[in-house]
Every structure is written in C-alpha cells, then in structure tokens.
Structure 1
C-alpha cells in the first residue's frame, strides 16, 4: 500500500502562461525552478523522455520537458496546439497523478506543472518528486537482474492499474521502475487516461510492453526471458485480476 499523500492543486498565473502546483508544499510557485533545473548541472537522460534531476528546498525532484514524437518532431520539437488550459498536457498529467495517488497506485508525486503560451501554441514542463534508488526494467534486463519474483511484482502492479481503468499510452521497460525494496513503480503518464476496464486495451498495453522488451533484445540478454520473466509476469497479472473480480473490485 502506498502511503497517502495529501496534494492541494492550485493555479498561479505567470507572464505568459500558468503554473499548477501543490500548495501544501509551497505557498507560491516560483517559475525560476523550471529554468534553473533545465540549465543546471543535474544528471540528464537523453531522448524524447529527457529528464533533469535536481535538488530543491521542497525535495529531490525530476523535471521533464514535453517533446513531440514522430516525423513532426523534425520541424517542431516541443510546441503543441493551444486548446485551453484544461487540455494542456502538463496540467492533465499533474491531475491524473493526483487521482492515481489518491487511489493508492505507485506513481511519482507531482510538484509543479506549467505551460508557456506563444500565440496558438504552447510549451510545457512537469516537476515530480524523485523516487529514490530505482532502476528501470530495461536496466535490470541489461544487468540480467530480471527474475520470477520481480516478474510477479510487475504483473500484480500492472493489474492494479488496469483494474482501475488506467490506460498507459507508452507502457515500456523504461517506464517501469523497481526500487531498492522491490516495489514496482510506473512513470510517464503523458497522454494517459482512465477507461472502463476491458481486456482488449489491457492486452494491447501488455503487448506494447512486450514489444519494448523485444526491441531491447531481451532474448539476447536472457535466453530464457519468456520462461523466467514474461510468462510468470502474465500469470501473476491474470491471477491478480481474477482475485479483484472475485472480490468485486472490478465492475
């Protein structure tokens, strides 16, 4: 069970946009944290999912700037069409994380989200709390650190999200983390949404995760990947869903 976190979301206007922040952590949001974190010497992870790790008075945090994917990214790397603050990607992810935390799911705690408008477009950023001592499943795979025990935990964790209708837009081995105590976390909820539980999209989610492992050449790192990790993960996932249906937790 994830400890209950009290978050009180509040919006603060800026010169060319707005910040959505947790007012239980700070009386006023300071936009400079987005700039300082992005320009500092903090560790970064390259790619579309680039993040910056930094320390602040409100704790160790992670900054993620929203980037576009696909072919359009070649001409427009980070601008999105403005359709209102409620549809701003950073604000939507912040609010979804608040909802998931309230449901007891293992996700990062949001601290601040902002958008910066320019005409009919905007850029966006999200700051969340760091989850200490974690490795991605991709890293565990490369280190040959995947086993049936972890597979069971991953399966149960994914079942907990799916049973509550959480559709993850990019379920992959880099967005599933495991901490030093063996707890499994799910990150990066950009474009994710709540849906009515249904095996069609749930299975599609799992297949996306499997494709990410195949792309990482799981079979080369672990010749018995399917037997040691994937099949035990699926078994734990389906057992957990069946138990939840039996208890009436899924409509």
Structure 2
C-alpha cells in the first residue's frame, strides 16, 4: 500500500512538470466575413458584410481595385481579458498569424494588407508564397513575424501590433487590403506567452511530492496506532 502511494505521488509530480512545460501560451482570434449576396455596384463605398469597400475605379464588389477596410474585434474571444492581463504584466507576444480566404482577380504584384491608421506595418503580397491562382478561391496563411514578408520599415513587430490593439476601439485592430482580390473572410490570431500564469497557478512538482510524503507518513502513523 505504501509503495502504491509513492508511485501515485511520483506520477502526480511528473504530470505537473509536463503540464507546466506544455501549457505555455494563450491565443485570441477574430474572424470577419463578407456577404456572399453582395452585388457589385458603382459608387464610392459599399458595405460587404464586415468589410467596407472603397476604390477609385467607380465599381465596387468585384475584386478589382477594391480597397477593403475592417476591424479585427477580439472582444468576443473568451480569453481576451487573460490576454490583456498577460500583456500588461510584461508577457511576450509570441506570434501573429493572418488567414485570408480570397479570390485573386489579378497577379497581386502591387497588393498589400496590414494595419490601417498607422505608417505601416504592411505585407506586400508579392513576397508571400502559396497565393491562390488568379480566378480561384483559396486560403492564404501569413506569419506576420516572418522576416521574409517585406522591407524592414514595413515589417510587423509585437510593439506595432499591441500599439494598434490598445488604440481606437478597445481590443480591436483596424485592418485593410488593397486591391485586386475578393476577400471572403479574414482571421487574425495572436498568441501570448502564458508561462507566468502557469507558474503561479500550478504547484511545483516538489510541493506535490512533499504532500505525498506527508500523506504516507500520516497513513503509517495511523496504521501503527490501530
């Protein structure tokens, strides 16, 4: 029986050790979508689901010369408060990943996407691989922290992303895309280091082992006194 208690204690300690190492990040995400029933029209502005379209050619909604604006609003994510607390306490933003469901109408050689109302950062689509073929709908995944997606002055950093997150509408980031593609949906996922949270919420393996040893001692003492 004593051997079984020791085995259980060691198992608990090992489990706590791996739990501490594996659960080290928390993510938040926001998704926006176009209205599949939007009809291309002539004008200066068109609301296409969550996207506001503008352009200089006069015709909007056909994916040609459309500049789309939207907000990635994270307020609906259940982890947003934890995310903010971790960032405020100095935890690092580990990654920022953008996903665009799109139908290119041209080669996208001059197209860009990024944070609005700031001088950069932005991604030149010509620097990104795996872009869907012209006329075909596909998903484009972009690691915003990749050093391969643009010149230094336009590159994304954690500071630039968090600056946009904390300005304007609370817990949201203003975004844009221009201009030769029809955007069906867009998702932005932010991942923050949560190791500080794990360290405070999960007992150290040594503590658990100590509790196990104490339990064994009490059981032995109880058995001797019977």
For this structure pair, what is the TM-score category when the shorter chain's length is used for normalisation? under 0.3
More strand by share: 2
What TM-score results when the alignment is normalised by the length of structure 1? 0.24
Point out which structure has higher relative CO (alpha carbons under 8 A, 6+ apart).
Answer: 2
Asked which structure has the greater CA Rg, the reply is: 2
